[in-house]
A = this chain, B = another copy of it.
């Protein structure tokens, strides 16, 4: 028996069952036309997955149910496997709300074919509750249902029986995390295989993260091999967000042979279908494997895709970017020109007396090379007016009836400049130009709050907010070399030392950012991106043991040359840890949404409370030991 299967790698629109249903009906019609026996559609393809607490709206659930039934009816002459949410009236979730399952239907001949525990759908067993996922917040797991119905999970996980020309095909149907079995007690795919599945089908709504594709290929290939049967991974495309983070669903729908080999795969981010056949335990591909982009190419593609769709969803057609002459705003500007076209981008250079001719010139040259809209709007007058007004306005104390005056420190004056640019000029100019303005902060700055509230950490979206400074540079090179194929970012940008240019001692040529990016990028990454997050205790232990550069993945020489003494290393570590675990959290709480790239982006993916920074007992011991050692060496 040969069965033709089509995976519909559709762009799911979160929170819009009406629009998703329309797309699904088109996919069904086209799959039927192509003679498909089975159409696979991704997890949560009717509702979308990341929709916040909309799951608590009954009218929304009712609509999803209505469309579920319409899709089932459309399976008259073709089987449809699709992921969706199912709710059960009369049963309650643990929080007292209507009980919902992250579920999937196997529908054929206009009816659903089987399901678990008397329901006509299968239920996700492994619930992700890490990173941006909150499955347990909304959905009841198969494991909990089995416990309350006194049914063993392994016996419940039965394949769905489809029939084609009198012969039967047992489909081991599962949802997303059910396939990521590494640390769950129940291994869903192997259980389905043991229970007689001919083929495993994993319906997913899986976001892109740097390096994730490789891991999935390794894991899913191994599963197919262990089970000895093919595995179909059907993922969606599109974007979904949780407020603070915008995730791109990268598609990369993939089919693995029973020996673990990748047989065919759909294009990354493609609004496309993947057709192939199953015959006697083998996958017969129709298309070659579309290998996904890696490294900087993947970052470029994901940022482009994610930002474009996010702007479209928000109805933003034009963007205004503050262009300082530094690398972050340059990369951001070039990306927006690439996404929206030069006619829809407005670049504004906003000099004060501290801005160098070098950076002002770079900004102008870039705007010319990009052929975009450009304005120079100085902030000097407004800055001086603000300082003058605040220092000269009397403050009366109505208890003592005495007058006081404010005195503005250098730091306050620096922040006035940043806010004058962001909240005074960019916010108003972008509203008049149309659309919104951009937040150009990168992950290194966001980590330690090296940014001004309502100054530069503001705007509609932080496109490069999940990229470390070295990744921003790499993306800049990629834009010149591959995307624009000419030097839209002038070479000087890559060579000048980054500087905020907010006071006389801090301009290009005179003094730059306090961050040593070739070290701090990697240190900060260990704080937030390591699966087992590093703290000062770990860092100091590695430093003492001489393994720090290896553990962080950075150049050993930069550490040695930057910190001549233990004391200087420790002072630097404490300075940034206190900011990372302290005040910078306040800035992140009010930061714009970030397009997520790594496996931990700030916001909903890396959750944090505003607390006082903590140093552990081990840290204090190591610190004392090292400082004692330094004293000994020095004396």
Contacts and interface: CB of A to CB of B under 8 A. Distances in A.
A59 B370 contact: no
A147 B137 contact: no
A278 interface: no
Contact of A58 (B14, B63, B342, B538): B538
Interface stretch (A101-109, A122-130, A474-482): A122-130
Interface stretch (A321-329, A352-360, A423-431): A423-431
A404 B318 CA distance: 15
Given A240-B609, A610-B593, A612-B313, A59 B531 contact: no
A346 B537 CA distance: 41
Contacts of A590: 458, 590-592
Interface string A272-289: 000000000000000000
A630 to B, nearest CB: 22
A182 B96 contact: yes
Contacts of A342: 398-399
A495 interface: no
Contacts of A404: 373
Contact of A52 (B62, B127, B586, B608): B608
Nearest to A139: B129
A148 B134 CA distance: 22
A537 B59 contact: yes
A592 B386 CA distance: 24
Given A96-B531, A398-B371, A586-B460, A608 B428 contact: no
A624 interface: no
Interface in A454-475: 454-455, 458, 460
A420 B395 CA distance: 19
Interface stretch (A26-34, A205-213, A408-416): A408-416
Contacts of A50: 609
A314 interface: yes
Interface in A25-60: 50-54, 56-60
Nearest to A310: B610
A618 interface: yes
Contacts of A389: 377, 381-382, 425
Interface residues of A, number: 129
A375 interface: yes
Given A370-B398, A589-B244, A390 B432 contact: yes
Interface stretch (A87-95, A220-228, A259-267, A506-514): A87-95
B427 A415 contact: yes
A585 interface: yes
A184 B94 contact: yes
A293 interface: no
A607 B243 contact: yes
Nearest to A149: B185
B412 A183 contact: no
Contact of A367 (B13, B398, B588, B593): B398
A412 B432 contact: yes
Interface string A133-160: 0101100000110011000010000000
A532 interface: yes
Contacts of A415: 427-428, 431
Given A371-B398, A609-B240, A59 B94 contact: no
A452 to B, nearest CB: 9
A396 B349 CA distance: 12
Contacts of A291: none
**Centre residue among A54, A185, A423 by max chain B CB count within 10 A:** A423
12 contacts: A52-B607, A58-B538, A59-B619, A62-B616, A62-B618, A143-B144, A342-B398, A371-B398, A373-B395, A376-B393, A381-B385, A390-B432
Given A52-B609, A314-B586, A415-B428, 10 more contacts: A15-B612, A18-B617, A56-B532, A58-B538, A98-B532, A343-B399, A370-B398, A377-B389, A419-B423, A453-B458
* The 7 A-B residue pairs with the shortest CB-CB distance in the complex, in nearest-first order: A423-B423, A52-B608, A136-B136, A59-B616, A59-B537, A95-B130, A15-B611
